[in-house]
Amino acid sequence: MQKLAIIGGTPLRGTVRISGAKNAALPILCAGLLTADDLHLTNLPDLHDVATMRRLLEQMGIKATPGAGEITLNGAAVDKLEAPYDMVKTMRAAILVLGPLVARFGEARVSLPGGCAIGSRPVDLHIKGLQAMGAEIHIEHGYIHATAKKLKGARIFFDIVSVTGTENLMMAAALADGVTVLENAAREPEVIDLADCLRAMGAKITGDGSDTITITGVASLHGASHRILPDRIESGTFLVAAAATGGDVTLCDTRADLLETVLEKLSEAGAQIDVGTDTIRLRMTARPKAVNVRTAPHPAFPTDMQAQFMALNCIAEGSAMVVETIFENRFMHVQELRRLGARIDVEGNTAVVHGVTRLEGADVMATDLRASASLVIAALLAQGETVIDRIYHLDRGYEHIEAKLSQLGANIRRLK
């Protein structure tokens, strides 16, 4: 099992390119199931989850022609309407093949998903939505088996905001008969990016970016080209790392409009931020000030940035409250940060972080994707060497993170 060894204490300086967004790429790859024509995608990140999704689609009969940062998918020969457990268990996003398969082929058999152990993320919203559109669904032997002669438009209300639920039903509705209205829909930029791709393929979608999305089904979708938007969580992670280490870092190929709440919190911490058309520069010349964060669905503060800000608060001036409202198990990084010398008290879904003047290197273990990122940031701050175990989580969501940090001056190496 691979590990990262980091010797901390060096401010990050320089320029780094931001990759395409994992959370946009995965549903957009699944959109390749909706057409028999070519779907050409660019700005595709080189990530473990992307590779897993590609293998899953190829196993179904999709022809995938990869290039450097791009891929062309052709769904003319899809003949296996199943996502098996061994492919799905490491990546919850595989549930996103369910809607497209039922919409285009009338049937799907998808294993109940796995992924990061950050709490309950039920698939019942996907199932109820498809049932409302006329699908018959049975859960048997750990698989969701869905059938429908033809999906019908429906009005669907989400009890809780679900990004993947919104994406799955939006893809399903694109080929349904009639009009589908998704209420209390997710508003994340990645949902808008999927809608942009589907529109390029001929879908009729309005309202994405709001909590009510309307999809008028069409008979078929055609091929298209689409550029995946920049990864706002990777952008935020590098900005927090720069702020925490007292650095001066410029991100390129990014978008500040995807990061408004994160940039506000970094400014509150004392960072100087300059925004260009596709660049963000952050400079930190003093010890960060502690900042309170409370996660909530977009456009509020993203849960995927909570752990990184907790690492920043560990060495900030003062104390900060971190409230997690999305996932119940998303404080598993706390005990690992404590091993580095952090002072953190947890009660329920609230953590109080008391800033200390320094952290010290130690052996730690990553528990999920964003927890891994917080440990990397903490290691960059710590005196001495930190070794982070189970970094396969990082490779699921950050493209070549050690290479990118190295070019910013970090002392980091991968141990095999």
CA-to-CA separations, 188 to 127, 216, 255, in angstroms, rounded: 21, 21, 14
How many helices (H) and strands (E) the chain has is answered by 14, 24
CA-to-CA separations, 115 to 22, 171, 255, in angstroms, rounded: 14, 22, 28
Structure tokens of 400?
């070549």
CA 324-325-327 angle, 5° bins: 80
User: In terms of Cα–Cα distance, which of 367, 372, 382, 364 is closest to 402?
Assistant: 372
C-alpha span between 54 and 101 (Å, rounded): 15
φ, ψ of residue 11 to 5 degrees: the values are -65, 140
Amino acid occupying residue 114: G
C-alpha span between 8 and 241 (Å, rounded): 11
Helix axes 369-381, 232-244, angle to 10 degrees: 20
SS3 category, 68: coil
Element of type H or E holding 3? strand 3-7
User: In terms of Cα–Cα distance, which of 227, 274, 224 is closest to 73?
Assistant: 224
How crowded is residue 208: how many other Cβ atoms within 10 Å of its Cβ? 25
Structure tokens of 319?
């104390």
φ, ψ of residue 250 to 5 degrees: the values are -115, 125
Strand partners, 181: 155, 214
**Are the C-beta atoms of 12 and 380 separated by less than 8 Å?**
yes
Q: Which residues are catalytic?
A: 116
C-alpha span between 372 and 310 (Å, rounded): 12
The number of residues making up the chain comes to: 416
SS3 category, 327: coil
C-alpha span between 326 and 343 (Å, rounded): 23
